Amino acid sequence: MTSFKLQRFWPRNGVDRLAFGFTMTELFVEGCFEMFIIIPKLYPEMCMAKLCHMLFGTFLFVNTITNFFYAMGIDVTSGSTVLPSVLKPGWKYCHTCMHNAPPRAVHCWSCECCVLKRDHHCIFTGRCIGHKNLRFYLLAVGYLCVGALYANYLNMDYAMEILVENFNWKVFIAMAAPLVGWTLGLTESMSFFVSFQCGTCMIASFMFTGLFLFHLHLILRGQTTHEWRNGHERVHDLGWKRNLQEALGTRWYLVWISPLIPSPLPGDGIYFRRRDGMMYENVKDL
């Protein structure tokens, strides 16, 4: 298994800490909401269906959290690797870190370091997503997407019961804008809580589905978000299968099971293969 060095865990700046705190709190509250309120309401007695829902829900929750923490905990810099003192073709000098940064590495002002094959800075994990943690980020987003869709399915009966059977304008405000309904005193605390959870799951399912498909699309094209945003040519597009391996490791088809499944990355995040078969070192010889 690829050896990873843990970096400082707690997010550095205020916005990141707020986003991280909200995400973690909402994840735990939502997990408990489905497990202890919705599932027992759907299945008051213990049965096979209830057991399956509880096991599947736990699997989704554990995989979301563990992938999330792995994405946060892995050192995304070049670490102890000695970078060359001569500026090679495709490399650039970072005046802040005072070293030669490899191709595809970008300096992040929030993380205060050069990140290998930097994709973007994620405020929810409070750090950059790059070469070493893209796998865990993609899986965390994927599980958030499946989890939100699944929660919508579980909440459907409950939401319909409130919306259709007991419908009035107060309930509508509580569902569409729970905070407004609660502030105006239109809903009780419990109704506010239930409406907030159902509303958050619906928004989250749209948001995370879009985010997951966007990142998967870029991974299959062999491009980072940074390269896509800046209109770079897809010189690292090696075909969808090799692109998947570059992002998720050689055992890309197993990574969904758990972040503990070893899936070594073919590259080191410093030297990259190009579509034309050249390494950056050879470019100058053309």
- What residues act catalytically? 122
256 secondary structure, DSSP code: T
Q: How far, in Å, CA of 174 to CA of 192, rounded?
A: 6
Shortest spacing between CB 69 and Zn ion, in angstroms: 17
Q: How far, in Å, CA of 251 to CA of 179, rounded?
A: 45
Enumerate residues 80-109 that contact Zn ion by CB under 5 A: 94, 96-97, 107-108
Enumerate residues 167-206 that contact Zn ion by CB under 5 A: none
Q: Which of 7, 66, 110, 258 is close enough to bind Zn ion by CB under 5 A?
A: 110
Q: Whose Cβ is closer to Zn ion: residue 123's or residue 207's?
A: 123
Shortest spacing between CB 271 and Zn ion, in angstroms: 18
Does 111 engage in binding with Zn ion (CB under 5 A)? yes
Q: How many CA atoms lie within 13 A of 248 on its CB side?
A: 24
Phi, psi of 126 (to 5 degrees): 75, 20
Shortest spacing between CB 124 and Zn ion, in angstroms: 12
Shortest spacing between CB 113 and Zn ion, in angstroms: 6
Structure tokens, 255 = 């990574």
Q: How far, in Å, CA of 158 to CA of 25, rounded?
A: 22
Number of H helices, E strands in the chain: 10, 6
Q: Whose Cβ is closer to Zn ion: residue 7's or residue 209's?
A: 7
Q: Whose Cβ is closer to Zn ion: residue 65's or residue 123's?
A: 123
Q: Whose Cβ is closer to Zn ion: residue 24's or residue 97's?
A: 97
Q: How far is CA 134 from the centre of its chain?
A: 8
Does 13 engage in binding with Zn ion (CB under 5 A)? no
52 burial level (CB within 10 Å; 0-12, 13-18, 19+): exposed
Does 226 engage in binding with Zn ion (CB under 5 A)? no
List interacting residues with Zn ion (CB under 5 A): 94, 96-97, 107-108, 110-111, 114, 121, 128
